[in-house]
Structure 1
Amino acid sequence: MDTKSLILGLTAAATLALASIPAQAAKLDDVLSRGKLVVGTGSTNAPWHFKDAGDTLQGFDIDMAKIVAKALFGDAEKVEFVNQSSDARIPNITTGKVDMTCQFMTVTGERAQQVNFTIPYYREGVGLMLKDGGQYADYAALKAAGSSVTIAVLQNVYAEELVHKALPEATVDQYDAQDLLYQALQSGRADAAATDQSSIAWYVTQNPGQYKDGGYGWSPQTYACAVAKGDQDWLNFVNTALHEAMTGVEFDTYAASFKKWFGKDLPPPAIGFPVEFK
């Protein structure tokens, strides 16, 4: 066989091999054709995802999913939520049970090997909640008091180390449930509760005049939604929807949600030079 015939034969074989590979519909097209977005999330962690007295799912994660649904269909309600445990967040993405997960999911390198993370929609951290009008006014007062202060924290192998990053001399009391932290603070057994900044913002918002943020945060971590690997168009679309909610045409929606769940007014994005490149 001459060289030309060999090349033609190899080209034909390659064409047949490619034709035998089944075409895979892009996720964006698949979701649009279905007419609804399917999102994995939880239902027991306020202010992220929880049910109200009327059994309606709500929270900041839920609002983020609705922002994506609105970008897809012009209707924020065209979304189906799949209630999942924390350990199902990645498997439900990789198996295709959900189109994306929004469930206060911390971005880590290990997880990023299994799923694609979207741009961040919240930066979490640890803070200190105090009683409004209590003995200690803020973080500076707690630190100045040294070993005289007692800090309540959720039980964890790293709990004492975590508290001592901010208050090296404080006494640390560990509790096995979040509500017990607040009870310890309320009863005076603890001078402050070390917990997620989002939990502090939520609790302060729900109990005006009773509690306050100590004004110091540490141990930052990033929350993002996650999608399956292998479909850049889908990731780009979700990123665009979230980005424009935080910086563009849907900012009012994002800001209203932030205010509702965390009690804080966000400054509107500056007009002119894009803030992302400053």
Structure 2
Amino acid sequence: MFFLWLFASIKTPNLAVAAELQEIVERGYLIVAVKDNVRPLAFRDGEGKLQGLEIDIAQRLAAELLDKPDAVKLQPVANRDRLSVVVDGTVDLTIARVTQNASRDRLVNFSIPYYLDGTALVTQDASLQRLNDLQQRKVAVLKGSDTISTVRYLIPQVQLIGVDSYEQARSLLESGNADAFAADASILSGWVQEYPQYRLLPVRLSGEPLAVVMPKGLQYNQLRQRVNDVIARWKREGWLQERVKYWGLPQSDTNRF
């Protein structure tokens, strides 16, 4: 009896946990972590309103799960917090340009992909049309990024120039000290929209599927299944492809993943 009393008297910490689907339905709205500075996936327009492909997905997903328009609270997050806010239950889902990998799989679950991102090239040099055109040419890449090995593998004779930021890359392109810039296609699509003198080369160097981040645990199976079913239906009906085109992103085939 003493041990039972001792066990019952121990105060356990209040651990935050993610909400299950039924809890979300009873609450009446979905909480989704998003980016607010990644055009055209998720960004603020001139009036400060959140816009973009991932914002469309978050809003429509909430409407599908709760049968109510605008039943969503969008919470902008930094890159470093995109997974942790799901793990600690601050949000229900994250839709913020997250790709799946083995280390992330240990912390969270992922939906089927809603967009295939990957390394692309942007330039304002009309003579550059194919990858071979970049042999012996200067290509800017972000220092420490996975893009470096991708570009070097596919264009062995390229001259890589490391940069610390997108702005530094644009400065090199403007001054003629770089012929192209390699980075994620989704980011470079926003670049082209902001600086129309540039264009994307019609080739993708790699494929990185973007997916919805969801909590781990058997209790979340119903939520995960509903999210996956909805995304799969959007693909069949063409809604996702239409929104990708609307936001000026390169078309992608997520059915391969």
Coarse TM-score class (shorter-chain normalised)? 0.7 to 0.9
Q: Give the number of the structure with larger relative contact order, counting CA–CA contacts within 8 Å between residues 6 or more apart.
A: 2
Structure 1 position 64 matched with structure 2 position 51? no
Indicate whether 1:190 and 2:178 are aligned.
yes
1:60 alignment partner AA: L
Give the residue type in structure 2 aligned to 1:173: I
TM-score, normalized by length of structure 2? 0.83
1:212 aligns with 2:199: yes
Partner of 2:243: 257
Q: Match for residue 154 of structure 1?
A: 142
1:264 and 1:109 mapped to 2: Cα distance? 26
Which is greater in Rg? 1
> Is residue 74 of structure 2 the alignment partner of residue 81 of structure 1?
yes
Determine if contact 2:86/2:214 at 8 Å carries over to the other structure.
yes
Partner of residue 38, structure 2: 45
State the secondary structure of the residue aligned to 1:119: coil
CA deviation after TM superposition for structure 1 residue 196, in Å: 0.8
- Deviation of 1:206 after TM superposition, in Å, equals 4.3
What SS does the corresponding residue of 2:212 show, helix, strand or coil? strand
Letter of the structure 1 residue corresponding to residue 244 of structure 2:
F
Partner of 1:178: 166
Change (3 A) 1:138 1:234: same
Per the TM alignment, residue 181 of structure 1 is displaced from its structure 2 partner at its CA by: 1.6
Q: CA deviation at 1:94?
A: 1.5
What pairs up with 1:137-148 in 2 under 5 angstroms? 137-142=129-134, 146-147=135-136
- TM-score where L is the length of structure 1: 0.77
Give the aligned length: 238
- The answer as to 2:223 corresponding to 1:237 is no
CA displacement at 1:102 relative to structure 2: 0.6
Contact 2:18–2:88 (8 Å) recurs in 1: no
RMSD, aligned CA: 2.6
The aligned amino acid for 1:52 is: D
AA at the equivalent of 2:21? L
Provide the residue aligned with 2:209 in structure 1.
222
**In 2 relative to 1, CA 137–194 (structure 1 residues): closer, same or farther, beyond 3 Å?**
same
Contiguous gaps of at least 5 residues in structure 1: 1-23, 268-274
Check the 8 A contact 2:186/2:249 in 1, yes or no: no
What's the secondary structure of 1:168's corresponding residue?
coil
Question: 1:205 and 1:255 mapped to 2: Cα distance?
Answer: 19
Distance 2:54 2:117 in 1: 13
Alpha-carbon distance in 2 for matches of 1:191, 1:276: 33
Gaps of 5+ in 2: 1-16
Moved more, 167-176 or 74-83: 74-83
CA drift at 1:111? 0.9
Report the CA distance shift for 1:158/1:223 in structure 2 as closer, same or farther (over 3 A). Answer: closer
Give a deviation string over 1:182-219, Cα, whole Å, max 9, x none.
Answer: 232233211111111122333334444x2222222223
Bigger proportion of residues as strand = 1
Output the amino acid matched with 1:211: Y
Query: Deviation per CA, 1:139-158, whole angstroms, max 9, x where unpaired?
Result: 2322xxx32x1001112165
**C-alpha separation between the residues in 2 aligned to 1:265 and 1:110?**
28
Asked whether 1:30 is paired with 2:23, we answer yes
Q: What is the distance in 2 between the residues matched to 1:260 and 1:132?
A: 26
Cα distance between partner residues in 2 of 1:25 and 1:190: 47
